[in-house]
Amino acid sequence: MILPNWPIQHRVSALSTTRLEGYSAGPFDSFNLGYHVGDSIAAVDSNHQRLREYLPRPAQWLEQVHGAQVFSVTHRTVCTPWPKADALYTRIAQQPLAVMTADCLPILLANEQGTEVAAIHGGWRPLVQGVIANTLRLFDSSAEQLYAWLGPAIGPSMFEVGSEVKAQFCAQNAAHQNDFYPQKNGKYLADIYSIARRQLARSGVVQVFGGQFCTVSQSELFFSYRRDGQTGRMASLIWRN
């Protein structure tokens, strides 16, 4: 497990899983938490059960659709089937919120008091559609009181995209020009960590931590869809203490 190093860890709990120490066989070896990737259901069940050992109660999961919708968790009963959305928010104590990734950026949010938390699946499509801003609107706390942690995602030297992706971000904010680096083949390397930091800052969130991993190049630690195609999924979770 990877634990955020941020000033509010005594008020909220959070973690990101790695691919290590699970029950799945290759190419999902070994701590795959995704039921939708072709892995053995029994192995995924065992991995989820192992994750539960770290949690105060069952987590709320999502059917992630690469959009900008946010699901607000208002009751302790976990919603099944999983809601179709790309972010979760709650004020309920000890209710874990979970997002799955294998290159996309997990973003965990909490206010300074630890009374509001959120988890975002920050793929480039949710980001360009405004999933961060949509999530922040649910917080009662001001943006200056919020902390963000950026979990493991594809690094800036590995995320090659077409000009159409850059154009969508730059149409939203011209400053995103600085988050894309031209390549000789006419494409760009995108820095998804920088994109998220810029969007958070534009909304007033400046206390941002994490963002030092690369799921593609750190193959011993992380699943990567871009690197492997068929692969497992990690999870990032947050809850109020």
Of all residues in the chain, the percent with pLDDT exceeding 70 is: 100
Q: Which residue in the block uniquely carries the two structure tokens 């690197």?
A: 227
Average pLDDT, the chain: 97
Mention every residue, 6+ apart, whose C-beta is less than 8 A from residue 67: 84, 85, 86, 125, 126, 129, 131
The answer to whether residue 238 scores a pLDDT higher than 90 is yes
Q: What is the pLDDT of residues 163-188, one digit of tens each?
A: 999 999 999 999 999 999 999 999 99
109 touches 146 (CB < 8 A): yes
Which pLDDT does position 82 carry in this prediction? 95
Which pLDDT does position 76 carry in this prediction? 87
Mention every residue, 6+ apart, whose C-beta is less than 8 A from residue 129: 67, 68
Q: What is the pLDDT of residues 186-196, one digit of tens each?
A: 999 999 999 99
Looking at residues 15-28, what average pLDDT do you find?
A: 97
Beta bridge partners of 110: 117, 147
Which pLDDT does position 77 carry in this prediction? 85
Which pLDDT does position 172 carry in this prediction? 94
Q: What is the pLDDT of residues 59-112, one digit of tens each?
A: 999 999 999 999 999 998 898 899 999 999 999 999 999 999 999 999 999 999
227 touches 219 (CB < 8 A): yes
CATH of domain 12-156+203-240: 3.60.140.10
Gap between the Cα atoms of 140 and 159, Å rounded: 34
The answer to whether residue 26 scores a pLDDT higher than 90 is yes
210 touches 201 (CB < 8 A): no
Q: Is the peptide bond before 72 cis (omega within 30 degrees of 0)?
A: no
Query: Quick one: which of 202, 194, 119 has its CA closest to 157?
Result: 194
Looking at residues 203-223, what average pLDDT do you find?
A: 97
Gap between the Cα atoms of 206 and 200, Å rounded: 7
Which pLDDT does position 144 carry in this prediction? 95
